[in-house]
Chains A and B, each alone.
Chain A
């Protein structure tokens, strides 16, 4: 099935050169002499790789984390103590750790369009409490490989590969948003891998479809299908629009309206890279979340109620663009027997970022 991420990235962030058919343009660019402008160099290198090396394990080739000199910091934020790469069947997954290696493992799973660095405040708190905290950038996100295909099962396999590289025993997991929904599926399919599960606003209850008759919904779906297919034709030429560090933070702010600009600027220094012509988010521009597919959000809740391990669900009460639109009362009937749900008032989708101390205290108490 398609990646049912639900969230939509800021479409203003993606640019497609569409003045001629993509296939013709790809051929033309691939055969042309290497151009000199920064943007043309970037596009040329991408297309050349696309044409000649489409099965490469390192498509994108952007692996170097920018040196952190004279860049914004954020109170409490700490970069991981260790970072390395994990091979997931040919897909290189950027993996990070905070805390002592001898401490018991705790896995943190980020949401759609995010990256492990969004835990830079939360993870150190958990590490200080005695955990070896492990997180990773999902394929297509952060510093992990950009791949040709993205899917729910592939994300879960990548997760299992990282988790198995640390331990084959059941371990606690804290997961946010899409990462939370992924881990609900993993917990259902492989309950022996997760000892305790914390889900932070990753419990989709229903699709965000307005109340419309069937024939109107069919027409709306037709629009989603053609929009997605049209984008697939152009995807090979898509790239992220460059801008200043502040520009990218402001763009992200459209999707994260409750988060302070200082935090968003800090995220740019991790989730974006600095090219000659400006900063670009590292998120694969060919990824297009949401859209259509057979997956139904309510399937996640059918998995959730059946879980046997201790479960803590956290949800903010304020809806945000990157959230699922789930309300606490939608979830109450689906909380598993060994679980509980905590609704945190006056907080949006990024519960752990808005209230890191309150949320980490609650989670540490649960994990203990």
Chain B
């Protein structure tokens, strides 16, 4: 990537413009940071990732940070997965470090694109738990008022905080993550909080636990 640290590129995902920030330039496998729900990308390399030997990027999800805000919501974790897929294709692959909902999206990406994800480190943060694991009643929502059109998009906060995450759905992505070339422990669970979807993938082959996020990143960097 011919970019310099501190710059931001706009990637096209259908009708949305996604902000991909370059936090550090370099060679080798890129590290891609995925923020939590309602957050945005950091402007500098976070402490946990300082020892990563390659370039470091951070992506603002749809409706977050410097990415654009679509009218009228309609968010899903699968759309955020597609955001990451756009960035992965642009970078040619990456190791993922996800916070909160970014951790769940990192899991989905590791299963969806095992050939492009060189490891997924799952850490605590906003939106980690998600919504129900089964049916739930959705109450009527009148309006989001003056917050409409601004990041973080209130519809993103509402819809993504209750996005259904059945255990067997998460397990399927964990199983798919070991079908690619990076099939040795491609997912590292480094969260303290263990919602049902995390408990479900803990039992899957290819998922490692007990490491700190820093240790997991060092492990992936050494491969």
Residues of A within 8 A of B (CB): 1-2, 22-23, 26, 50-51, 54-57, 59, 88-91, 139, 145-151, 153-154, 156-158, 160, 185, 188-190, 193, 218, 221-222, 225-226, 228-229, 232-233, 235-236, 286, 292-296, 299, 302-303
Known: A57-B71, A151-B73, A151-B74. A229 touches B85 (CB 8 A): yes
| Distance, CA A295 to CA B168, complexed state (A) | 12
Inter-chain CA distance A182–B176, complex, in Å, is 31
The answer to whether B73 and A295 have CB atoms under 8 Å apart is no
Closest 6 CB pairs of A and B: A149-B74, A148-B70, A90-B71, A91-B72, A154-B74, A148-B15
Complex CA gap A225/B112 in Å reads 6
A50-B12, A294-B163, A294-B165 given; A189·B72 CB < 8 A? no
Pull 12 A–B residue pairs with CB atoms less than 8 Å apart, ordered by A.
Answer: A2-B76, A90-B148, A148-B74, A154-B159, A185-B138, A189-B138, A218-B175, A222-B112, A222-B179, A236-B13, A299-B134, A302-B135
Q: How far is the CA of A236 from the CA of B17 in the complex (A)?
A: 11
Instruction: Pick from A149, A154, A286, A302: contact of B62, CB below 8 A.
Output: A149
CA distance A22 to B85 in the complex (A): 13
B71 interface neighbour in A22, A89, A286, A302, Cβ under 8 Å? A89
Q: Is B42 an interface residue (CB 8 A)?
A: no
The size class of the interface chain B forms with chain A is 35 or more
Chain B residue, CB-CB nearest to A30: B12
* 0/1 string, B121-141, CB within 8 A of A gives 1: 000000000000011011111
Query: For the complex, would chain B's binding face be called helix, strand, loop or mixed by DSSP majority?
Result: loop
Given A54-B70, A89-B144, A151-B76, 11 extra CB contacts under 8 A: A1-B76, A2-B78, A91-B71, A147-B15, A151-B74, A185-B138, A189-B138, A226-B112, A229-B85, A232-B14, A294-B166
Which residues of chain A are near B11, meaning CB under 8 Å? 23
Taking the closest CB of chain A, its distance from the CB of B19, in whole angstroms, is 13
From B68, B74, B90, B148, A150 is in contact (CB under 8 Å) with: B74
Complex contacts, B17 vs chain A, CB 8 Å: 54
Complex CA gap A1/B85 in Å reads: 17
> Is B1 among interface residues, defined by CB-CB distance under 8 A?
no
Partner of B78, one of A1, A88, A190, A226: A1
In the complex, what's the smallest C-beta–C-beta distance from B99 to chain A, in angstroms? 21
Q: Are B76 and A293 in contact (CB under 8 A)?
A: yes
How far is B72's CA from A1's CA once the two chains are assembled, in angstroms? Answer: 15
The answer to whether B120 has its CB under 8 Å from any CB of chain A is: no
Bound-state Cα–Cα, A302 to B22, Å: 47
* A54 in contact with B16 (CB, 8 Å): yes
In the complex, what distance in Å separates the CA atom of A101 from the CA atom of B172? 51
Chain B residues with CB under 8 Å of A193's CB are 140
Interface contact A148-B14, CB-CB below 8 Å = yes
| Interface residue ranges, B against A (CB under 8 Å) | 11-17, 62, 68-79, 81-82, 85-86, 89-90, 111-113, 134-135, 137-141, 143-144, 148-149, 155, 159, 163-166, 169, 172, 175-176, 179
Q: Inside 8 A of B77's CB, which chain A residues have their CB? A: 1
User: Which chain B residue shows the least CB distance to A52?
Assistant: B17
Establish whether residues B82 and A89, one from each chain, have CB atoms under 8 Å apart when the complex forms.
Answer: no
CB pair B112–A50 under 8 Å, yes or no, is no
Residues of A within 8 A of B113 (CB): 226, 229
Q: Cα distance A3–B122 when bound, in Å?
A: 26
A88–B144 CA distance with the chains assembled, in angstroms: 11
B159 contacts A151, CB within 8 Å?
A: yes
Check A292/B75 contact, CB under 8 A, given A89-B143, A189-B138.
no
A293 to B74 alpha-carbon distance, docked (Å) = 14
Q: Is the CB of B12 within 8 A of A22?
A: yes
Given A54-B17, A149-B79, A233-B86, check contact A90 B72 (CB 8 Å): yes
Q: Give the complex CA separation of A294 and B172 in angstroms.
A: 11
User: Roughly how many angstroms separate A188 CA and B69 CA in the complex, as a whole number?
Assistant: 30
Most A CB atoms within 10 A — which of B73, B75, B172?
Answer: B73
Enumerate chain A residues within 8 angstroms of B75, measured Cβ to Cβ.
Answer: 149, 151
> Least Cβ distance of A207 to chain B in Å?
12
Tell me, in angstroms, the Cα distance from A292 to B111 when the chains sit together. Answer: 13
CB pair A55–B149 under 8 Å, yes or no, is yes
Residues of A within 8 A of B71 (CB): 55-57, 89-91, 145, 147-148
- Which one, B13, B78, B141, contacts A157 given CB within 8 A? B141
A146 contacts across to B, CB distance below 8 A: 15
Docked-complex contact A294 and B164, CB < 8 angstroms: yes
Shortest CB–CB separation between residue A52 and chain B, in angstroms? 10
Which of A1, A148, A221, A228 counts the most B-chain CB atoms under 10 A from its CB? A148
Q: Which residue of A lies closest to B17 (CB)?
A: A54
| Alpha-carbon gap, A232 to B74, bound state (A) | 15
Contacts of B144 in A (CB 8 A): 89
Contact call B74/A1, Cβ cutoff below 8 A: no
Contact across chains for B73 and A89 when beta carbons are under 8 A apart: yes
B157 to chain A, nearest CB (A): 13
> Which chain B residues border A303 with CB–CB below 8 Å?
135
| Nearest-neighbor residue (CB-CB) of A156 within chain B | B138
